[in-house]
Amino acid sequence: MSHNCTIVVPCYNEAARLDVNAFREFASRNRPIKFLCVNDGSSDDTLEVLQSMCDSDPNRFAVCDLAQNGGKAEAIRNGVLLALKDDPEMVGFWDADLATPLDIIPEFCDVLARNPKLQMVFGARVKLLGRNIQRRPLRHHLGRVFATVASSVLRLPIYDTQCGAKLFRTSPEIRNIFEQPFRTNWIFDVELLARCRCACKAGRLEPLEEIIYELPLHQWRDVAGSKVKPHDFFKAFFELVLVYWTYLRPGAAPLSPLQRDDVIRRRAA
């Protein structure tokens, strides 16, 4: 089954470890799937590497060059908004280190295509028999503690908020969620879900339990050179407090201008 899909790949100083051949080989076999690679103000040769990919197949690869490093959250947000201008059926983001293999992207697309009510498919790193999930023990245990707390704060039985493989069905509601700059960087995935909660309260999205699907990955591995360090998990808890206070505390739920206008129209009707 073919799908018109664009995957945003945030890149910061990835010249030495970006697997260009893996991207090219996958793109040659999955023609409807495109990649928008975002150079997040890299100080190495990342832009040149990305441009070479684009030059080799401009129908499958595009580059968004951000002059200054703004962090992964803003790189993805800018990339998604740019990708949406081409009106793909689906848009998502994928970690540049390919900790999640590219070959599972069609499965993400198929899940959305088979289930019209679903709006989002998130990868989940669940260590089950028959699956190859390789995580360093310390990062695994810290990650499980954080995921449990994040699930409680979001009031959502989600297993893995932080997996860097996510796909969305394009819609005005999804566009609205990415409109405003994120206030967090390390846990922008949680902030994204908190914005979805706000959209639910505004009547723009169905309950999250009904529109999000977590897909257990067949394969995932920690890749050497990751920019996420164990002490960053402690920063993440401070950002989680910020997410709760900004979006989820009683009386919060801020809305974007478009959401606010829509709520006014609904109430007037």
176-213 pLDDT, tens per residue?
Answer: 999 999 999 889 999 999 999 999 988 999 999 999 99
Please say which residue of 67, 98, 129 terminates a domain.
98
Same structural domain for residues 181 and 73? no
DSSP reduced 3-state for 74: helix
* pLDDT of amino acid 169: 97
* Spatial CB neighbours of 224, under 8 Å, sequence gap ≥ 6: 17
pTM here?
0.90
Same structural domain for residues 156 and 267? yes
CATH number at residue 25: 3.90.550.10
Would the pLDDT of 259 be above 70? Answer: no
Same structural domain for residues 138 and 65? no
Total domains, the chain = 2
C-alpha span between 122 and 135 (Å, rounded): 18
Same structural domain for residues 87 and 140? no
Q: In which domain, by residue range, is 190 found?
A: 107-269
Q: Is the dihedral of CA 164, 169, 170, 173 positive or negative?
A: negative
DSSP reduced 3-state for 200: helix
Where are any strands of DSSP class E within the chain? 5-11, 33-40, 61-66, 90-94, 120-124, 132-134, 165-169, 212-216, 219-221
Same structural domain for residues 229 and 141? yes
Please say which residue of 98, 121, 150 terminates a domain.
98
103-141 pLDDT, tens per residue?
Answer: 999 999 999 999 999 999 999 999 889 999 998 888 888
Please say which residue of 72, 98, 124 terminates a domain.
98
